[in-house]
Structure 1
Amino acid sequence: MDTVRDITIALLRSLGMTRIFGNPGSTELPMFRDFPADFEYILGLQEATVLAMADGYAQATRNAALVSLHSSAGVGHALGNLFTAYKNQAPLVVIAGQQARSILPFEPFLHADRPTEFPRPFVKWACEPARAADVPQAIARAYRIAMTPPFGPCFVSVPVDDWDRPGEPVAPRVLATRNPGDRTALDQLAGQLRAAKRPALVLGAGVARDQGWEAAVVLAEVQRASVYVAPFASRNVFPERHPLFGGFLKASRSDIVSQLAHHDLVVIVGGPLNLYHTETGGPHLPPGTSSWIIDDNPAVLSWAPSGNAILADSRMALTHLAGAGCDVRRPMPDMPKRSPPPRAMSDRLAMARIAALRPAGTIVVEEAPSSRSAMQELLPMLVPDSFYTTASGGLGYALPAAAGIALARRGERVIALLGDGSAMYSIQALFSAARAAVPLSVLVIVNRRYEALEQFGRHFGLSEVEGTDLSGLDFCAIARGHGVAARRAETPDELDAMLAWSFGEAGPTLVEIIVP
């Protein structure tokens, strides 16, 4: 009979999962015996880096990525970015090594105690198969669950001695999961859209996952509806220089009510509107404003504080609503005016110059919290699938995710836009980027402190915030130590020169951008 390993390799090949993201440990090694020539092992130097690389790769390919981790310690290292993958709705199959079945009763060294409980609640499903022969079927099931909306990571614990045992083959199956939504409810919403005086669309990351960009543009134009990005949306969902683009909603009740005050109908698609970060009281929507929310995740629909809800694929729902529209006579809404680009060295200047100098089709992966408003104002995303960030708010995601996205979209320039504090969480990803020789520009905004926490300190009335000083880091030296060429920019002229250099290189580079 074929071994569990032989059957699993054939299964992974049939699913298009021939890249394995991992950091090898003793209990994983038998999985890689006679490693096939058409597979590639992507080495990360720490498990959090491994998980985020796979997350970026999965989102960019729209197929589940395979992650190989060690037992408890390795899974523990990866948990922060497993949480992010869960919030990103990134489809992952995480396989973790376990000690041999014969010695598990004696709590052996490097075993996993209650392995299926440890990664919860940040996986959709977790399993340690009862028999070695069941391992391929468990991996196949994990793939199907990961690829069923809402997408997300699944976890399989595999004892080290299972790989060489006889296994049972897995038959191929078709997986069709797109949900068009309830037509009666969509038609009811279409009628309300036609009757509205000042409708608004609020779009979340689900629009990008479901490839709903064009459908969103058509619906907005048919209805002459203002379009906003939902709070903390982790993907770009609408052209950010479109005449109907109204900007980014802030993550508090009072700000959302203020920003949506002149709309009588709000249609939220692809993610929650009410993703709050700071506490304020009052209503969730302006008085007299009605709302509908459309998403493929029942949990998002359940916690929406008000309005009607439809469980549906974002693109299919948007397409239906656009087709059910009619020629409207509403005036074009007034859009916010943009301020002139800055001249002095700052994060705002950096965003403006990146926008001016980036090659066409560039992908931005961002983790610079204190500079996010500058990015949203001055570095617009203009084409689909050109922006990714962490949906969880956890740091240490963007740099390895950018490497994973660059692996998935070979030949396209990827920019990892990082704060200096964020960069240090998964700096080991520079090694993986150098080894893969991907066209990755790592741009580090260096203000020598955790500036986002300084801002929150002011919000909470703190006169001084402890533990935010980052002076003394040398990112050029760190990058060179990982095999990545690096340069520093301290003036506007240097900034332009260093960006042009980085964007023109074939392999990974790092630019340390010093701002006041």
Structure 2
Amino acid sequence: MPSNSCEHGPELVTVREASFHLFRGLGFDRIFGNPGSTELPMFRDFPPDFRYVLGLSECGVVAMADGYAQASGRAALVNLHSAAGVGHAMGSIFTAYRNATPLVITAGQQARSMLPFEPYLYSMQPTELPRPYVKWSCEPARAQDVPLALARAYRTAMQYPRGPVLVSVPVDDWDVTTSPVPAREMDFTLRPSRTSITAIADALQASRRPVFVVGSEVDRDGAWHRMVQLAEQQNALVWVAPASSRCCFPENHRLFAGFLPRSREGIVAALAGSDLVVVVGAPLFTYHVEGAGPHTPASAAVFHVTDDPNAAAWCPVGTSVIASIRSAVDELLATCGPVDRTAQKGRIMPSPIGIREAVIDVASMLQVLADCRPEDSIIVEEAPSIRGDIQERLPCLRPGSFFTASSGGLGYSLPASIGVAMARPGAPIIALIGDGSSMYSIQAIWTAVEHDLPITFVIANNRGYSALKKFARVFGMDGALGSDIRGIDFVALAQGQGCDGERVSDPEALERALGTAFARKAPYLVEVVLA
């Protein structure tokens, strides 16, 4: 009888070996994590070509991975402990979802044979715990299916709109044998229809006063320079959408109009006089306060270009086009022709201020930062009470030069600056963080020290949650309960983790401190005591 070669399947390997083989094929070379007992077998004989980035809290770990994915343009791999660890991480998972950051999260689970008895440290409903802030979650029915689930998780995370996914893996799955899973190629680009592009191009051709409103997707999808070309071709003003988390347009450009507020009436007032509004790479619109009336000027036609079908579905007005932003902008550039239109005037930048005062306020702090920052520096910001001042006095001029959280949650940007630094080796990173924000994740400084990253942590110390105090006025309140923070020594907190630093209270001292920090090319903390 002839031999049947089909009797021999592919060579079997452990789930752990198959998973790391898949990770290599997908381009992963590091895992961000804070380990627990149910994750230990995943890291048995940890491969030497991988790097484990340890963070001292799960929330910080996810934020580090988010910063790395945002700055690299690739998905990041995260490992969390079971129920408690995922719970600790939920604030940053929420931010990753709002940031549209592709994260592949693995979470530990107790051994399968123990699950009927509700053992210690098990996750009762592991796929439900992170919802709705993951795009997909799974605990495979069989150990052998873990690599298949990880492959699907990656592809789901990378599909537009990108976002986090989670795979729960029982602790005894890693040593079970299974077949390897190849990392297959996929084209994730969403191309716009010719009809939709022609409609926008025709509207631009007929418009007398068009405006573009750009959002984070422009920078995220690599469309920054092409968006500048499109605005110049059309001689159209450009606004940044509310709650944008990236630098979407050069903020000193002659066509840059400014930042839209997060209120319905404020947006309509800002866009008044326009006869066409083309929103590119953002929702239409993100509000923070209750409003009434129209969403855009009644005289303006509206088009909305987004890679998020959900944002297109709830868009209240206009015509929505679902497409990858770079693809859509490229198509518009190729279709639209130059126009004979009087160029509109963008915003007027404030004049530089003197820095000779004996005390330092927000404006002078930002002026010193603007004057001293290296040309190739990247700002990772979480100082919501002074964000308007930052937008006015610390303009971002390059793609990939600014990152923050689009969720409104605190504790993201300090650890995210670590991921950004890892993704952009050599670039000076400025983590501009409020005093209240920093305390959500101050232990992330330890990871920056461990990896000797060139991050200057600038803590804007105004001794409280000033954003909350300002927002209280919306409700007619004079101040906010529990919004004062006093007596924290941020330099001591940094030094206790091996990071040098200093406290400053006048502009000249800040200038000297920043010079020291940038020259060191290592973690350094500057606490700025604001008047």
Same fold (TM over 0.5): yes
SS at match of 2:13: coil
Matches of 1:342 and 1:409 in 2, distance apart?
A: 32
Q: Which of 421, 425, 446 is the equivalent residue of 1:431?
A: 446
Q: Aligned pair 1:413/2:424, yes or no?
A: no
Kindly indicate whether the alpha-carbon contact (under 8 Å) linking 1:202 and 1:273 is maintained by their aligned counterparts in 2.
no
Q: Which residue of 2 aligns with 1:155?
A: 166
Q: Which of 143, 149, 165 is the equivalent residue of 1:132?
A: 143
Q: Which residue of 1 aligns with 2:483?
A: 468
Kindly indicate whether the alpha-carbon contact (under 8 Å) linking 2:242 and 2:286 is maintained by their aligned counterparts in 1.
yes
- Stretches (4+) displaced over 4 A: none
Q: Aligned pair 1:203/2:218, yes or no?
A: no
Letter in 1 for 2:189: R
Q: Which of 155, 167, 183 is the equivalent residue of 1:172?
A: 183
Q: Which residue of 2 aligns with 1:27?
A: 38
Q: Which residue of 2 aligns with 1:54?
A: 65
Q: Deviations over 1:37-74 (max 9, x none)?
A: 11111000000000000001111111111110000000
Letter in 1 for 2:528: I
Paired residues for 1:51-450 under 5 Å: 51-343=62-354, 344=357, 345-450=360-465
Kindly indicate whether the alpha-carbon contact (under 8 Å) linking 1:341 and 1:349 is maintained by their aligned counterparts in 2.
no
Q: Offset of 1:168 from its aligned partner?
A: 2.0
Q: Deviations over 1:46-105 (max 9, x none)?
A: 000000000011111111111100000000000000000000010001000000001111
SS at match of 1:227: strand
Kindly indicate whether the alpha-carbon contact (under 8 Å) linking 1:364 and 1:388 is maintained by their aligned counterparts in 2.
yes
Gap runs ≥5 in structure 1: none
SS at match of 1:428: helix
Q: Between 73-82 and 455-464, report the one with greater CA deviation.
A: 455-464
Kindly indicate whether the alpha-carbon contact (under 8 Å) linking 2:26 and 2:183 is maintained by their aligned counterparts in 1.
no
SS at match of 1:20: strand
Q: Between 334-343 and 226-235, report the one with greater CA deviation.
A: 334-343
Matches of 1:466 and 1:220 in 2, distance apart?
A: 45
Q: Deviations over 1:343-394 (max 9, x none)?
A: 3521121112111111111111110001101110011111111111001110
Q: Which of 52, 62, 67 is the equivalent residue of 1:41?
A: 52
Matches of 1:264 and 1:503 in 2, distance apart?
A: 47
Matches of 2:199 and 2:300 in 1, distance apart?
A: 16
Letter in 1 for 2:46: F
Letter in 1 for 2:260: L
Q: Deviations over 1:182-225 (max 9, x none)?
A: 11111111011011000000000010111011111111001000
Kindly indicate whether the alpha-carbon contact (under 8 Å) linking 2:350 and 2:393 is maintained by their aligned counterparts in 1.
no
Letter in 1 for 2:247: N
Kindly indicate whether the alpha-carbon contact (under 8 Å) linking 2:253 and 2:346 is maintained by their aligned counterparts in 1.
no
Q: Which residue of 2 aligns with 1:509?
A: 524
Matches of 2:183 and 2:240 in 1, distance apart?
A: 39
Matches of 1:469 and 1:62 in 2, distance apart?
A: 38
Kindly indicate whether the alpha-carbon contact (under 8 Å) linking 2:25 and 2:182 is maintained by their aligned counterparts in 1.
no
SS at match of 1:469: coil
Kindly indicate whether the alpha-carbon contact (under 8 Å) linking 1:444 and 1:513 is maintained by their aligned counterparts in 2.
yes
Q: Offset of 1:502 from its aligned partner?
A: 1.1
Q: Between 373-382 and 351-360, report the one with greater CA deviation.
A: 351-360
SS at match of 1:86: helix
Matches of 2:59 and 2:498 in 1, distance apart?
A: 20
SS at match of 1:97: strand
Q: Offset of 1:6 from its aligned partner?
A: 0.7
> What's the TM-score once normalised by structure 2's chain length?
0.96
Q: Between 352-361 and 326-335, report the one with greater CA deviation.
A: 326-335
Letter in 1 for 2:258: G
